[in-house]
A and B are shown apart, each in its own frame.
Chain A
Amino acid sequence: MESDNNKETSKTEQIHQYITMRIGHQLFGVSVNHVVDVQRYQKITPIPLTRREILGSLNLRGRIVTNLDIRVLLEIDDKIDIEKSMSIVVEHGDELYSLVVDKVGDVVSVKSQELVKNPDNLSKLWQEVSLGIFPMQEELVVILDLDKIMPLLLEEK
């Protein structure tokens, strides 16, 4: 089966689809393979004694999902208007997590060769969690590597 892929597209031409989202002023992208759901704002039940990143839990069609604020990790200071926010539900390690974002945008198809290496002036953290930059016409999209960012988000400080 691997051979079929090789026949049709060469390595540099693999196309990935990312769903774009805005956090603060920045556009980010997350691979559609990881995204389970996209939700409008709904009531969050706070969980006492948890750190700032854990906003609480929400009821996703009968499943209890933990709602996380990635702004803290990414050090994005812009305040979020929680009632207008949306969330991306992702799966990581058998559990579902909801990541709060300001807005969810379109899905973009990106060819491997279009993905640009992270510029050197990005902070160490962003370098680690970003797979690369996708330059769109008006804006740059930072493509997030969920496998890197989730463990960081989940670890105790």
Chain B
Amino acid sequence: MDELIAEFLSETSEGLQTLDNELVEFERDPHNENLLNSIFRLMHTIKGTCGFLGLTKLTAVAHAGENIIDKIRHKELSVDEHVISVVLESIDTIKEIVLYISQHETEPTTDYSALIQKINDTANNVSSTPNQESTSSQEKHEEPVHSVEASSLQTIKVNVKLLENLMQIVSELVLNRNQMIQLDRTIHDHRFAPSIQRLNVITSSLQETVMETRMQPISNAWVKIPRMVRDLAKDLNKKIRLEMTGKDTELDKQLIESIKDPLVHMIRNSADHGLETPEVRIKAGKPEEGVITLKAFHQGGHIIIEASDDGNGINIGRIKSKALQNNLLTEEELALLSENQITQLIFRPGFSTAEVITDISGRGVGLDVVKRNIEEIRGTVELKSIEGKGSTFVIKIPLTLAIMPILVIESEKQKFGIPQINVVEMVRTGANFEYKIEEINENKILRLRDSLLPLITLSDLLQIKSGTSEEKNNFVVVCEVSDLQFGIIVDKIYDTEEIVLKPVSKLLKTINIYSGNTLLGSGEIIMILDPAGIIKHLTILHHEEDLEQKAQREQDKIDRENSTSFLILKTGKTRKAIPLEFVSRLEEIDVTKIEMAADKLVIQYRGGLMFLHPLDPKYKIPETGLQQIVVFGSNNHILGLAVEDIIDIIEQPIGKKHNFEEEEITSAIIGGKTTDIVNINQIFHQVFFSDEDSLEVPSLKKEYKILTVDDSPFFRKIIFQFLTERGFKAISAKTAIEAIELLNSDQKFDLIITDINMPEMDGFEFAKFCQEKEQLKDIPIIALTSNIELGKESNKLEQSGIKNCISKTNFDELMNAIYSLLKIQESVYGIR
């Protein structure tokens, strides 16, 4: 583009903006002569420059504008709303033409004569009492073409692109400096130290100074607002006054561009929804004129911008009902939120509580986009409101865009960064620590002081696996975004590092969990996570799950239904597995506490005695140190299996093909390797009941039908075998629901054996259900569990009508219970 035209466009745009604002101010203060003169000067300048460049249409419109203002100046025309509107219209048209020129380098072909006529007509609407002063001021023609503003600062106009390049280079320098510092730490060559120190200081200085070059007063972002508010007030038939404080607060040019649109939107919102009409305001005892206040100030490395109105505030009730209406949240979820959190719901997509969607701001597309735009520059926005009094949008933006401190964490052997500004605290979790990760319906939760923190496992979110079995998920990084707190579960936490955030490649823009990437001092590349993006993946927002995800979940569920979890152990050279459902606990005991009782190894455990038994008979428990124990059983019979090493836990679907042998389940291919499956029932029997006569299959008088309910396919198979061997007819059900269906069918069952821990309907609930049904209440129920401490559940046990609760590993006790409940006498089955 022609350089002259480019410069003209730039200057004219600036001038037009100022003109806009001054006119609006003038409307409020029509007696301000200085203002009027300034307005005239600007218009005159524009007209002059246009003419000089041969832009005839522009010149004609500008001339008409200048003329009308001149008349006002000479008091030949009185100022009223109409006049100001016409002048503003002329300015708008000029802007239009200027825009066209910037795009096409030539004037548009539109005919502006009608507008010019209108302007002139308005100008000639001479006021009925022309002022005497007009004649005298006509002689004064003092305006210079360029207003000389005495400015003590010397300034240079610099191309923005140039500054951006400078910024980029300085950022690279900072990264390089970081690398040097790292190297210095490892090399320890003291000859380098002073130079590196100096480099450090210089780089920091340079960084700060370059940042200052890009700092501009926030008034640059506020330029369009006075005019906009004026127009809004007119369109909405409301009286609105705009107040701005902290105009000189400085921030980075890039940020200014980014907040312009959000600000416009928030103010529109305030004007449209926040402020009431004059009538309503008077009735409420408020002044007729509503006030919108824009405030900006620095606070702790951030710039805070507040846009408030003294209108009617947010109606919490309306938001709640709207949220329910739009199916954003359920009643229960809403009940859990604080008032403040409910207020923030207006930032959700599709949310608009306007009764009538006004053209101005009501379509509900607005505030969520605002929030996103602000989050893109790593800021936060919050709405504070007092019903009846007003609302305030609070925007908080970090000043140092380029360099930010991040917390480096690791998950599945990959490192990532979390912006320090979002990190509240870090918590170590695990069996031996104060904090434990708990679950509600498969959603992980952490109890943190007074609240329950929703958690998300980073490796799950990122779908990464490292294939190692080192300790994982040991730490929770507690993060905060706006008002929401949540935790990210990671394997390791490293340092905090200051890094230069580089935006992600355009390729990755759609993945909302990264806010950028960077080079660490060591040269490694790490992705920087965006907590605001991560929050969207938390369970509470499940509603937005799409069909594909749902299908995947269903498939996973089916896979899980057919899977069994195995605890993999090592004894000598063999690999052994125990189905996890039998296991009560994993413990480490101090070997010095082991005692002998009737030539069996025991240890005092939780108020009772635990019998120890080495899994591999050849295994010798060491004399000192800790011994790993797998605990089974309950109540009177607690077994601790001493193992050499606990290797892993593997979940695997059980297939008919290769995994299990048909008759007896003694070994399988688990985790790709041949593994022996420990017959824990047999071991249990050996330890506790071996002095009693062993398994003789008794002959039974009749065919007793036993219904077994257990969600574990493995266990169903085991118990099926067990019962069948002893002459019972066993029918198994996968879930309590299935069991109920079977019970309602024609089959008559003599006994029910049910698991306690089952999804959907657990053992207690199932038993209670049976109790309440006439035809089922007489069928005795035995419950099986792997939980040692049954005492805790004794209430539930009583209420449910379950006769016996037995450990899954204790088949001897199970047998006794079955025989006793079925009233099978000793005489019936021979030796016992």
Contacts and interface: CB of A to CB of B under 8 A. Distances in A.
Nearest to B509: A156
A48 B502 contact: no
Contacts of B514: 47
A45 B524 contact: yes
A83 B818 CA distance: 65
Contact of B505 (A62, A95, A156): A95
B686 interface: no
B412 to A, nearest CB: 9
Contact of A50 (B172, B511, B519, B524): B511
Nearest to B462: A48
A64 B517 contact: yes
A156 B510 contact: yes
Most A Cβ at <10 Å: residue of B175, B525, B527? B525
Given A62-B172, A95-B506, A48 B414 contact: yes
A47 B509 CA distance: 13
B373 to A, nearest CB: 21
A144 B128 CA distance: 78
B463 A49 contact: yes
A93 interface: yes
A59 B414 CA distance: 16
B424 interface: no
B523 interface: yes
A64 B463 contact: no
A50 B508 contact: yes
Contacts of A48: 414, 462-464, 527
B68 interface: no
B506 A49 contact: no
Contacts of B502: 64
B409 to A, nearest CB: 14
Interface string B498-520: 00001001111011011001110
Given A47-B527, A49-B511, A62-B176, A93 B506 contact: yes
Contacts of B526: 45
Nearest to B172: A62
Contacts of A64: 502, 517-519, 525
Nearest to B526: A45
A47 to B, nearest CB: 6
A66 B506 CA distance: 10
A1 interface: no
Given A62-B519, A95-B506, A49 B525 contact: no
A66 B176 CA distance: 20
Nearest to B517: A64
Contact of B507 (A46, A54, A58, A62): A54
Interface residues of B, number: 24
Contacts of A156: 510
A57 interface: yes
A49 B462 contact: yes
A122 interface: no
Interface in A49-67: 49-50, 54, 57-59, 62, 64, 66
A8 to B, nearest CB: 31
Interface in B493-552: 502, 505-508, 510-511, 513-514, 517-519, 523-527
A136 interface: no
Contact of A46 (B176, B414, B518): B414
A18 B165 CA distance: 31
Nearest to B520: A59
A154 B526 CA distance: 21
Contacts of B414: 45-46, 48
A59 B523 CA distance: 7
Contacts of A59: 519, 523-525
Most B Cβ at <10 Å: residue of A54, A57, A66, A154? A57
A49 B176 CA distance: 29
A60 to B, nearest CB: 10
Contacts of B519: 59, 62, 64
A48 B505 CA distance: 14
A122 B505 CA distance: 32
A66 B511 CA distance: 15
B514 to A, nearest CB: 8
B14 to A, nearest CB: 28
Contacts of A66: 505, 507-508
Contacts of B517: 57, 64
Contacts of A54: 507-508
Contacts of A154: 506-507
Interface in B786-831: none
B460 to A, nearest CB: 11
A95 B511 CA distance: 18
Nearest to B502: A64
Interface string B50-75: 00000000000000000000000000
A124 to B, nearest CB: 24
> What are the 4 closest A-B residue pairs judged by CB atoms, nearest first?
A48-B462, A45-B525, A66-B505, A57-B525
8 contacts: A45-B414, A45-B524, A45-B526, A46-B414, A49-B511, A50-B511, A59-B519, A64-B517
Interface of B: 172, 175-176, 414, 462-464, 502, 505-508, 510-511, 513-514, 517-519, 523-527
